[in-house]
Amino acid sequence: MPLEKNNTDADIFYAVLDLLYRIKLNFLNHLSQINQFPLGIDATWNQAAQYDIPNQHLADWLLHTGSLTERLQALTTNFEVRVLGQATIDADESEQAALSDYDLHRWQIREVILYGNGKPWVFARSVLPEHLCKTTWATLGNQPLGQRIFNDHNFVRGEFVITQLVNNPITGVGDNMLTERAMLPLWGRRSAFQLKDWHLLVAEIFLPDCPSYITNSAPSNTLNTSAK
């Protein structure tokens, strides 16, 4: 009498699917550990007047109301955006307080690193309405968010707040190496944007190799602190 077949084809099929799912889950967990998304920004944000900004060059970078993306692109032929992650998760308390309509909508957190000449120049963290992420920005991918914002004249930018950080927020992420500037304080800025009835928040931390710290990286510009 032949042995009874213990596993049906369906059992084998579902076992394979389960194995593939576990492999995928382990892979995603591995990526999460590498990127540590969301990194967040542990900072206190204040008006620029409350800080002693070291020089006019850095002040211009912190308070310049034009497109940061375009400004960086003008300084390199090798500009890259690396998306660390984007997901529907809670914003931190400071971000929630900065968005008057936070309790009225669902939001997504998007974190990216902007590279120039192969070096990390800016870490950006944005709090975005989920509605816009699923409609207007559904195809954003690894494109700079700044290009979308500044190509839409309906956007209005609010006032900047700035911060000074002791710790580099991307330390230990992927293959980003510390440079000789790694021990120097970092500066960052944050501002809110409004598009009709929608609001969003964008924070940008200038990393050690960012041209904002190199006074001969760009011609001096007159400060422009007015909203877009």
Parallel, antiparallel, or unpaired: how do β-strands 198-206 and 186-195 relate? antiparallel
* Residues 137-159, mean pLDDT to the nearest whole number: 89
Give CA 145 to chain center in angstroms.
Answer: 9
List beta partners, residue 201.
Answer: 127, 192
CB neighbours of residue 151 within 10 Å? 9
Give the model's pLDDT for residue 166: 86
What DSSP line would sit under 50-103, residue for residue? GS--S-HHHHHHHH--S-HHHHHHTT-S-EEEEEEEEE--PPPHHHHHH-TTGG
Q: What pTM was computed for the model?
A: 0.78
Q: What tens digit of pLDDT does each residue of 37-96 get?
A: 999 999 999 999 999 999 999 999 999 999 999 999 999 999 999 999 999 999 999 999
Give the model's pLDDT for residue 173: 75
Give the model's pLDDT for residue 147: 85
Supply the DSSP symbol for 36: -
Give the model's pLDDT for residue 16: 75
User: Which domains are delineated in the chain?
Assistant: 48-213 (3.40.1410.10)
Give the model's pLDDT for residue 219: 43
Q: How confident is the model at residue 152 (pLDDT cuts 50, 70, 90)?
A: confident
Provide the residue type at 188 as one letter.
G
Greater confidence, 122 or 27? 122
Q: What tens digit of pLDDT does each residue of 111-143 get?
A: 999 999 999 999 999 999 999 999 989 999 899
Q: How confident is the model at residue 17 (pLDDT cuts 50, 70, 90)?
A: low
Report how far residue 64's alpha carbon sits from residue 227's, in angstroms, rounded to the nearest whole number. 10
% the chain with pLDDT above 70: 79
Question: Rg of the chain over CA atoms, in angstroms?
Answer: 22
